[in-house]
Amino acid sequence: MGLEVKNMSSGYRQIPVLKDIDFSIEYGEIVGLIGLNGAGKSTLLKTILGLLIPQKGTITIDSHTILDDHSRYAQHIAYIPETPVLYEELTLKEHIEMTALGYNISVEEALKRAEPLLKIFRLENVMNWFPIHFSKGMKQKVMIICALITDAKIFIIDEPFLGLDPLAIRDFIALLKKRASEGSAILFTTHMLSIADELCDSYLLLSNGYLVGQGNLTSLREQFRNEDASLEDIYFAMTDTKAPLSVDKGDG
Ligand code: ATP
């Protein structure tokens, strides 16, 4: 059970960016989606979120597609986009309240869950501020808090570390690890390979819309036939790969 992507192609106006993508993510797993600019990472996340319809294949959460039950599917997912999307007319507190409504939890419970997160991210004194007064990093932290207060079982996170200071990065990594240890699945993109190395149980390597490698580092070393390779070595090898490797996926 978890997220399963089967033989899936997706893209824009019949242009297939992603080709025959196959992978699954179990609950409790943290998976890094890695690839060059334009490889198709955001397109994959958008398709999982239901913002793009697959041109072929299926995406399921616990064996259900988005068409089976749209709101159930949506409530299973928390999304943190690359660029924070906040409502200019809502305060931070109102963003938390709105998230509560969207995810079917009481406002009281949402505010209770938010309290320690607001402290960690040093936002406890700006609950009544509007986004216009927030820095980029503060906006990103609001998105992170709103995601973490939900009961979502799957976190989809697009390049989450860019706007954050090192302290916030450290705390966010710890929060993601905790959430995974409590049984959530986490799929995130990043170009920061050192963070990926620290955080991920396994990886999905995308190149030109093809999944050219998947699994943990040991498995990737087998797939790329380099037993001493670092994640960075594999990344550079992967960027030379134009089509899927015909390799055993290993046990990762
Ligand atoms: P980055 O690391 O730069 O964020 P990415 O791996 O997330 O890149 P995508 O944004 O998924 O890459 O883009 C994959 C391909 O899809 C690119 O060739 C891009 O030109 C194309 N593409 C992305 N968004 C659109 C769109 N809205 N309409 C048409 N083509 C698009």
**What pLDDT tens digit does each residue of the chain (252 aa) get?**
899 999 999 999 878 899 999 999 999 999 999 999 999 999 999 999 999 999 999 999 998 989 888 888 898 999 999 888 999 999 999 999 999 999 999 999 999 999 999 999 999 999 999 999 999 999 999 999 999 999 999 999 999 888 899 999 999 999 999 999 999 999 999 999 999 999 999 999 999 999 999 999 999 999 999 999 999 999 999 887 665 554 444 443
Q: Which long-range contacts (CB under 8 A, 24 or more apart) does 223-228 make?
A: 223/247, 223/248, 223/249, 223/250
Intra-chain end-to-end CA distance of the chain, in Å: 16
pTM of the prediction? 0.91
* Residue 209 in contact with ligand 1 by CB distance below 6 A: no
DSSP state of 64: B
Phi first, then psi, for residue 2 (nearest 5°) are 135, -150
State whether the beta carbon of 39 lies less than 6 angstroms from ligand 1.
yes
* Residue 54 CA to its chain's centroid (Å): 18
CA dist 35 and 209 (Å) reads: 9
The mean predicted confidence, pLDDT, of the chain is: 92
Atom 17 of ligand 1, nearest CA residue: 38
Q: How far apart are CA 119 and CA 125, in angstroms?
A: 9
Q: State pLDDT tens for residues 219-241.
A: 999 999 999 999 999 999 988 76
Q: Report how far Cα 141 is from the mean position of its chain's Cα atoms.
A: 15
Q: Is 213 in the pocket of ligand 1 (CB under 6 A)?
A: no
Report the nearest atom of ligand 1 relative to the CA of 38. 12
- Asked if 29 contacts 154 with a C-beta cutoff of 8 angstroms, the reply is no
CA–CA gap between residue 31 and residue 248 (Å, rounded): 19
* CA of residue 42 to ligand 1 center, whole Å: 7
Residue type, 121: F
